[in-house]
């Protein structure tokens, strides 16, 4: 194998690796910044493919003139590309949030444009032989191999152990390493190339120093988070408000607050306490989604409960619990934490039955949330409930979520924005509900509420005075047909997604 062909293969492989890795990172950043909307991936893909198409189109022009030193051209393109992503990332973290869209558009386009200019050059260098078909397939194989390995390494390894910013920096360093490799093959070298390498290297280390002190949460807030966890499953941020309350964001969107105090109800924790007034008795509970663990804490105070199974896909939330006051839950023998996708876990454990399934699910318009809101999922969940069991989950005020539940369960109501669905009537009378709430006990076996405390009783009465609403009662406020959420038709993410939600709430 000649040097041209070997270089072309390596170049094609590494460019494919960093190109698809960059796409993964930009999808992550755009999704994080814009509420994990399902449209985020589509927009990034369009811009990326446009950049690839135009980059390849202009890259071919360098191959027309046989006098061009393609090694030198590759060297300069890669040098520019090595700093492109981190410069755009730096700009995004320093400008006003309202100007992020044009910055992201340019960043994604040029990220793909610069790297794809190398592709025709690699093909030209690697196909200077009689056996053109074999040579083309060999170079193309290298590119596909790199494009396959990029998402695997970046999505499953780099982002598991490195932050998003550090992964950008790593890819930048890999790109400059490829540029230096290309430089080593230039036949006639001069001081300009050396100066370019030194300048770009210093620029990268300059931005490394700045970016390492930047907080990614600046993309979604004017104030940096006080605590941050990143892994391949997502990004968890903790912000503090003026009262020092801990507000948690998951992948760029509000995910709750660390609070179980009904008198300081910043996270509408009354919805969790309402569970104690459903059905009698509750013993075996499944909670899908851990989040701040505030709900798990409240549910664990119900005396009749013998076992709580918590299924959470992101182990980062355990690290969050360890840092704050709810860490005692990790030592509670009644609670079993499982790291898995909730829907997948239910499918794999069809013989397990629960008195209740609780899901404080995220906003109905976010990407892939239909997996926990669709008619098919509710049918699966119903099979995991005992005969008189119920499912209690967040509709985030979506009528589509509400109506879908009515197709699966006989008895469906809404409490605030939570759906309570069962085949029997699960709400207890007010007097019995009060007694249930007064029996709640903390880990020290102390009562949560005191019947002789007016403040406690006012909070309990306020909780219980909020009515359960039927779908028919709620639908009278709507002036449009309510649709059904299905696996094959996630209307809550698209047709009745974020922009529809804005139009109905503004």
Domain assignment present for 225: no
Domain assignment present for 103: yes
Where the chain has pLDDT below 50, the residues are 1
147 and 290 fall within a common domain? no
pLDDT of residue 2: 59
267 and 196 fall within a common domain? no
Long-range contacts of 198-207 (CB under 8 A, 24+ apart): 200/79, 200/82, 200/83, 200/176, 201/176, 203/83, 204/82, 204/83, 204/86, 204/169, 204/172, 204/173, 204/176, 207/83, 207/86, 207/87, 207/90, 207/169
* Phi, psi (deg, nearest 5) at residue 171: -65, -35
Q: Could you tell me the residue range of the domain that residue 390 belongs to?
A: 262-505
User: Exposed (0-12), middle (13-18) or buried (19+): which is 500, by Cβ within 10 Å?
Assistant: middle
200 and 269 fall within a common domain? no
User: Structurally, how many domains does the chain consist of?
Assistant: 2
* Phi, psi (deg, nearest 5) at residue 356: -155, 145
In the listed set 186, 219, 252, which residue is the last one of a domain according to the structure? 219
Q: Retrieve residue 74's tokens.
A: 């590759």
Domain assignment present for 484: yes
Residue with tokens 């982002």: 159
pLDDT of residue 64: 81
Domain assignment present for 234: no
- Which CATH number belongs to the domain containing residue 131 in this structure? 1.20.1250.20
331 and 204 fall within a common domain? no
Q: Retrieve residue 128's tokens.
A: 């200077």
pLDDT of residue 161: 95
3-state secondary structure of 252: coil
206 and 278 fall within a common domain? no
- Which CATH number belongs to the domain containing residue 282 in this structure? 3.40.50.150
pLDDT tens by residue, 331-347: 999 999 999 999 999 99
Domain assignment present for 242: no
Q: Are 317 and 329 in contact (CB under 8 A)?
A: no
192 and 49 fall within a common domain? yes
Cβ-based neighbour number of residue 305 at 10 Å: 20
Domain assignment present for 228: no
Is the pTM for the entire model greater than 0.75? yes
Domain assignment present for 247: no
Specify the length of the chain in residues.
506
3-state secondary structure of 237: strand
269 and 400 fall within a common domain? yes
445 and 323 fall within a common domain? yes
191 and 322 fall within a common domain? no
Half-sphere exposure of 398 (CA within 13 A, CB side): 33
In the listed set 187, 219, 251, which residue is the last one of a domain according to the structure? 219
117 and 174 fall within a common domain? yes
Domain assignment present for 28: yes
Report the share of the chain in percent with pLDDT over 70: 98
Q: Are 335 and 308 in contact (CB under 8 A)?
A: yes
Closest CA to 192 of 69, 110, 86: 69
136 and 272 fall within a common domain? no
pLDDT of residue 47: 97
In the listed set 188, 219, 250, which residue is the last one of a domain according to the structure? 219
Cβ-based neighbour number of residue 372 at 10 Å: 22
350 and 414 fall within a common domain? yes
Closest CA to 211 of 93, 85, 82: 93
């Amino acid at each position: 194998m000649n040097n041209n062909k070997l270089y072309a293969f390596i170049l094609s492989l590494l460019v494919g690796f960093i190109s698809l890795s960059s796409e993964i990172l930009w999808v992550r950043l755009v999704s994080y910044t814009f509420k994990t909307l399902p449209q985020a991936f589509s927009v990034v893909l369009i811009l990326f493919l446009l950049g690839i198409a135009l980059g390849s189109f202009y890259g071919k022009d360098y191959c027309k003139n046989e006098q061009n030193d393609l090694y030198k051209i590759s060297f300069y393109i890669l040098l520019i590309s090595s700093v492109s992503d981190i410069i755009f990332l730096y700009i995004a973290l320093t400008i006003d949030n309202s100007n992020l869209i044009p910055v992201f558009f340019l960043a994604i386009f040029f990220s793909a444009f610069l790297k794809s200019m190398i592709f025709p050059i690699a093909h030209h260098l690697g196909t200077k032989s009689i056996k053109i078909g074999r040579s083309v397939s060999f170079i193309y194989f290298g590119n596909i191999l790199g494009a396959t390995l990029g998402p695997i390494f970046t999505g499953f390894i780099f982002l598991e152990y490195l932050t998003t910013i550090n992964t950008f920096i790593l890819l930048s360093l890999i790109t400059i390493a490829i540029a230096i490799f290309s430089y080593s093959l230039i036949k006639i070298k001069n001081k300009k190339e050396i100066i370019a390498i030194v300048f770009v290297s210093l620029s990268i280390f300059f931005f490394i120093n700045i970016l390492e002190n930047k907080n990614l949460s600046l993309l979604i807030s004017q104030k940096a988070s006080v605590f941050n966890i990143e892994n391949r499953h997502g990004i968890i941020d903790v912000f503090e408000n003026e009262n020092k309350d801990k507000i948690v964001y998951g992948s760029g969107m509000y995910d709750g607050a660390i609070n179980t105090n009904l008198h300081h109800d910043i996270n509408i924790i009354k919805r969790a306490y309402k569970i104690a007034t459903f059905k009698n008795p509750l013993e075996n509970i499944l909670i899908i989604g851990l989040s701040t663990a505030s709900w798990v804490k409240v549910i664990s105070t119900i005396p009749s409960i013998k076992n709580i199974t918590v299924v959470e896909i992101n182990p980062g939330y355990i690290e969050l619990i360890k840092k704050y006051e709810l860490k005692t839950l990790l030592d509670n023998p009644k609670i079993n934490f499982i790291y898995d996708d909730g829907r997948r876990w239910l499918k794999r454990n069809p013989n397990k039955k629960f008195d209740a399934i609780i899901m404080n699910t995220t906003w109905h318009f976010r990407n892939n949330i239909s997996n926990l809101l669709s008619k098919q999922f509710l049918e699966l969940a119903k099979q995991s409930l005992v005969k008189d069991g119920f499912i209690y989950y967040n509709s985030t005020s979506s009528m589509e979520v509400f109506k879908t539940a009515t197709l699966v369960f006989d008895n469906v109501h809404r409490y605030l924005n939570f759906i309570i669905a069962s085949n029997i009537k699960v709400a207890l009378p007010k007097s019995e509900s009060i007694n249930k709430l007064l029996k709640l006990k903390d880990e020290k076996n102390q009562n949560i509420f005191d019947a002789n405390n007016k403040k406690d009783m006012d909070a309990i009465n306020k909780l219980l005075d909020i009515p359960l609403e039927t779908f028919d009662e709620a639908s009278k406020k709507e002036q449009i047909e309510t649709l059904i959420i299905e696996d094959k038709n996630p209307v809550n993410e698209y047709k009745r997604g974020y922009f529809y939600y804005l139009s109905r709430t503004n």
